[in-house]
Chains A and B, each alone.
Chain A
Amino acid sequence: SQKIEQNSEALNIQEGKTATLTCNYTNYSPAYLQWYRQDPGRGPVFLLLIRENEKEKRKERLKVTFDTTLKQSLFHITASQPADSATYLCALDVDTGGFKTIFGAGTRLFVKA
C-alpha cells in the first residue's frame, strides 16, 4: 500500500534560520504533491502544490522540491519566524482519477525567538 513518511520528531530551530522538512513516499508515483499547515485544533491550510514534472516551486518564504527518483519532497521555510510554528503535512494523490489524496502524519515545527 502507499505510504508517506514525515519526520515524527519535532523540529526546533532558531528564528531567522531555514527550516527543512522531509516527506518520503513509497509504492506509488504521484502526479503531484501538496504541503499543508495545521495549527492545533484547526483544519489544515493549503500552502503549495508541486507537479511531478516540476523540480521546485516557490511562494514567498516557502520552497518545495520534488524528486520523483528519490521519492522525496523537501519543504523549506527561509527566514523562519515564531509565527511559522505549526504542524506541516505533506499529501499526495494515490489514484489516476486525481480525487483521492493521502496525508502524512506531519512534522511539528517550533521556531524560537
Chain B
Amino acid sequence: SQTIHQWPATLVQPVGSPLSLECTVEGTSNPNLYWYRQAAGRGLQLLFYSVGIGQISSEVPQNLSASRPQDRQFILSSKKLLLSDSGFYLCAWSPGRINEQFFGPGTRLTVL
C-alpha cells in the first residue's frame, strides 16, 4: 500500500533562517506531488505541484521554493523565513489526473 511521510512534525525557526521540509511517498511511481499551506482556521493554499522529476509549478510568488530531485521526493525550501511563513504545511500525492489526493501528517511551522 502507499504511504506518505513528512518531517519534521513540528518546527520552530527564527525569522531569517533557512527552511527545508521533506516529503516522500512509498508504494507508487510517478505520483503527482503537492505542497499546501494552511493558516490557522483557514483553507488550504496550494503552493507548488509537480507532475514529474524536476517539473515544478509555482502557484504563489513568495520566498518559498520547491524541488523534486527524485520521483517520490518533494522538498519545500526557503532561504530566509518570514513571520508570515508560519502555518501548517501539508504534502499530498495523487496517482494522476482527476484523482483524489492523499495527504501526509503535516509539519507545524512557527516562525518567531
Q: Is the interface of B mostly helix, strand, loop or mixed?
A: strand
Alpha-carbon distance A94/B21, docked complex (angstroms): 26
Shortest beta-carbon distance from A109 to chain B in Å: 15
Q: List B79-101 residues whose CB lies under 8 Å from chain A.
A: 88, 90, 92, 97-101
The complex places the Cα of A54 from the Cα of B102 at a distance, in Å, of 23
Interface residues on A, range: 20 to 34
| Among A4, A45, A101, A103: residue with most chain B CB under 10 A | A101
Complex: chain B residue closest to A97, CB-CB: B97
A43–B90 CB distance below 8 A? yes
Residues facing B in A69-102 (CB within 8 A) are 89, 91, 93, 97-102
* Residues on the A chain within 8 Å of B44, using CB: 44, 89, 103
**Which A residues are within 8 Å of any B CB, using their own CB?**
4, 31-32, 34, 41-46, 49, 51, 89, 91, 93, 97-106
Binding site for A on B (CB under 8 A): 32, 34, 36, 42-44, 46, 49, 51, 57, 59, 88, 90, 92, 97-106, 108
